[in-house]
Chain A
Amino acid sequence: MENIRNFSIIAHIDHGKSTLADRLIQYTGVCNERNFQDQLLDNMDIERERGITIKSNAISLPYRAQNGQTYTLNLIDTPGHVDFSYEVSRSLASCEGVLLLIDAAQGVQAQTLANLYLAMEHNLEIIPIINKIDLPSADIDRVLEEIDSELGLDPDTHIKASAKEGTGIEEILEAIVERIPPPKGSGDNPLAALIFDAKYDAYRGTIIHCRVFEGCVKAGDIIRFMYNNATYKVEEVGHFLLQRAKREKLSAGEVGYIIAGVKTVSDVRTGDTITHQDRPCPGPLPGFKEVKPVVFASIYPIASDDYQDLADSLEKYKLNDASFIYEKDSSAALGQGFRCGFLGLLHLDIVQERLEREYDLSIILSVPSVRYRFTLKDGRVLYVDNPTHYPDPAEIDKGEEPYIRASMMLPERYLGSVMKLCMEKRGVNSNMNYTGPGRVELSYEMPLAEVIFDFYDRFKSVTQGYGSFDYDIIDYRESNLVLMDILVNGEKVDALSQIVHRERARARALNACDRLKDEIPRQMYKIAIQGAIGSEIIARSTISAFRKDVTAKCYGGDITRKRKLLEKQKEGKKRMKMIGSVSIPQSAFLAVLKSDND
């Protein structure tokens, strides 16, 4: 156990986490040049393309240190987005130390801070690393100053590196060995292992990723999940190299996997404790929490024939994403579909993209919603995350919506525009604090619904990419809510309905009308688009008709070509949804989420 180090890399997005992981893997020789590809730990195409890590991942690196001893360095990769902060916290709980990566040009950012706080909560040894020192815009002195003043860490403990160019890698590996303490615990104690992730394997079922704190586990053991007392017989345990490497047992201090005939990842809770059935540990490891979705939207197939395909794909997708939930839903306008819950908008984006990409589905997404709370006059309390279930306004006594505390870091020069944005988004109780010369840490309490609408894109745009943002959900607050509907040629499109604050309804409706006007192709007749609260029309736009499209000639030799053209157009129309007599493209549903200021 003396020769094990468990660590994680934490960083703001784009500060070079995956590249550093690649270098550590290459340096320790786990992977030869032949099977090396960039961002080894980001297995999914989406992860590589977006440059963010979505799933946790782990790998054991063998390292022969300068002191002559060989160590096993377990790198636990963590997701890099606020939607997945609980997963991050479980990964960190499995470590004794972290590499805190800071971009030499960008300096400390909101997620740097948020991640640092998380690491401190877990009493982890923190090694600050200034990455990207090769950049011409690198400003190491400033970053050192920020490490001192904003992070409160000793700047002398830092290491300078360029993961891209491979500088500083050995120094980092030595620091991991020297500064991060070895795990504690005893292989003789009753088993206590923390689940920090689970992945689905078509042949083996669920692969549980865990860190063993006490005791040891081996094939044939009967284990128990402390959250639901489910028991399983262990089939295999092992370490993570680039592939899984079977071992005889996993002991206290080690990171690895357990295969135990668990059917789906939904049977496993990240953060749960695994123990032995006949010799359980005294209690679960601390910090377990059940993650709950905060953003909800319905998914419909564009062609209603694809409903069963969609159902099958969601079932398969769910195998590997325990935080995604769904149930049957139906829309008057869009037919049969599913109501789904997500950890945040990025999570929603990812699910949508994977359904389209990996399962080849054309889907329409309704306008995302948060979960509102309504107290009715008869005292009943309703949680509503689907505008379709909006209660009768006459019966509502009180409406409430979830609030978040948004933490932002930004250069002072953007302060004005960010504050304006936050106020526009109904932000209150601001707090501001100068963390260094020209840098501000700003916090606001804001309705979550405003944040999911388009806050993040606009924040990035007003700070020209220099601002960073993170949030925590805090509580429910009373709010003057209304149901805003969109009508296309007089037909209500329920998938476009939104629950909004009354004061924001008109602006939101106008925005939706304008967006739809741009996205819905002109048709043979004029199309009216209206936003309404109940029977009151609060916004409208009109799409004029096109009036001439016919080709002049169509004789014997033209017919086949003409038909092929029309078939193609018909095919294109299939990717649209007929609402009444208007064809609405998929893009129109997405466009409603965007604001004018993009």
Chain B
Amino acid sequence: MAKKKTNKINILVDGKPITIVEDNFLLPDLLKNNIAIPTLCHHKDLTPNGSCRLCIVEIEERGRKRLVTSCNFPVRSEIKVETNSEVVKKYRQNLAEMYLGRWPNVEIIQKVARECGATDKDKYKSYLTEDSAHACILCGHCTRACNEFIQEDIIDFAGRGIKRHIAMPFENVDPHCVGCTSCAYVCPTGAIQVSDNRNHPVNAKLIQEHGMKVNAEMATLDPYQCRMREVGTANIVEVMNNYDLLPVKNFKYGTHEDTWRIDSNMMKKSYFTQGHPDQCWHGCSMACAKAVEDFELRTGPYKGHKVIVDGPEYETAAGSSNMGCFDMDFCVEYNFYCDTYGIDTISFATCMAFVMECFENGIIDKKDTDGLELNFGATTDTLEILHQMARGKGFGVEVGQGIKYLKNKWAEKHPEKADFVRDIGMEVKGLEFSEYVSKESLAQQAGYSLALKGPQHDEAWLIFMDMVNNQIPSFEDKAEALYYFPLFRTWFGLYGLCKIVWNDVVPADNAQKHPPQIAAKIPEHVENYWKFVEGMTGRKVDEKIMLDESAKVHNLQKIMGLMLGKNSFEDDIPPYRAVGPVTEEEYESRQERYDGQLKELGFDIDDKTTPEKMAILRKYRYEQYDKVQKAAYKRRGWNEKGIPKIERLKELGIDLPELVEIIEPLQ
């Protein structure tokens, strides 16, 4: 991640002291200190280019004076700055007169001319003079916005000298233009106008205003925040590893010394060749999808072929660590074949991790696996399972049935190890867990297990709020988070909108403007979604409308699950591997943490063995889970067994007889 410099430098501006961070450009700090500086080409969200020269100031450095454009002058020493000296004033006035001579009727030019004391319209009048009030003044906002906001170069300067102008390649309309309207948005004169709003939104301007805020955040903040443009979601591989949250060997551990082999630095250095917007969302400025080109496959039907692989993303890499395969070539190859065969990488990786742990514990052996050695880290044999799954032959067919099927089958086969098999099989409601370790976050255990589709984190990802920030300490706090976030995330999903622009870039002042509970929602970005819906449909949305709209669907999903014989109380309980340490080696690997927690809770563990301490911890953690489960049900308007109350359906206006018929006997 790019790190901003933090060294401070004291400078004198018009005799007054100002402190500025080293390498900051001068102009933004002058403006921040209420010093008026005229400019035409500066835009707060775009890289400065110093082309209009109006922001010129006089600096004195080591006794020598010179004129510099303040917008692109980086401060690196204790300089003196004169923003309004006679030479500066004269320079600006002359420049402003030239601009006025060429574009006398453009409002922004007239304004700058007034600020610079330029009054003579005719002094530089020539055959170049353009009378239009919307003439292009060659400020370059549009070319920079095209490049920086949207990572395209559809428009640029063409011609030289007095023939310089803005154009698309060869003066034709470029079909690659996605119509993002960034250029029109930043154009200060109206020279670029939007003539066709293709989807006919009710209020295109509203959508544009909010979309451009995100574009600007991507251009200016992403390099310092999540690096979505640079490496996509893979940026969190190393973060999760550092916070003990990256699943390793079927979620036994949260960190591993070999993670560097599969992290985003490795991907960027040796694998990713494509980082361009791939139009997964038309005109999306985040462009988080990455690709690996010319990757030579070493197994399967395409062995020896060079292919393009879309990915890997975080979950794919974390799936590798979960299978103990810290091998980037393997990661890219299983990514490719999962995509090619139409198999979900998460389900495959989590299922294989379970199979591997069973193999290592003698639940299954080589007779079951047709001779494959499925220890953790078995890259070649794991790929063979994937190919078998696709061919419909061999042990891969068994694995393809998923953890729930395997768990029941192997628990029956080994009754003496049935509890262990159930504890380590990371599925809820028949779906495999996605790739985060939830042991130290009660809210995340519930976020996973209460999700109606099964343990996918896209309903509620609360690990940091709970485990690290300690910002939802009570059961009620957790229940509130388990109410709001699943409903919010369900809601924008219903509108077909992407989650990434909600929290993978964040307004710079988000946490300064709001207290933590509110900041976690990122209110400005939630508002972007509301305004998008309003701009498209004309219908206003607020938090209540959003949550109620979503709760209708959420409750319908719940009842449909009940109709299918699922979504019972028991279906919302996670396997113990998601809650705490199943094995002695697991407990002892984090002994300080677990012992500390037990002592803090008042348990006397001084003469207890590891299995005894594990039993106490297990009982305590499941009791805690039970409480959070019930608190979450209550907040959702469900009874203690997780069944929606009839009053709740009435409140939401969905008390249809066919629904009431399902839940009435369960009240």
The yes or no verdict on A and B being binding partners is: no
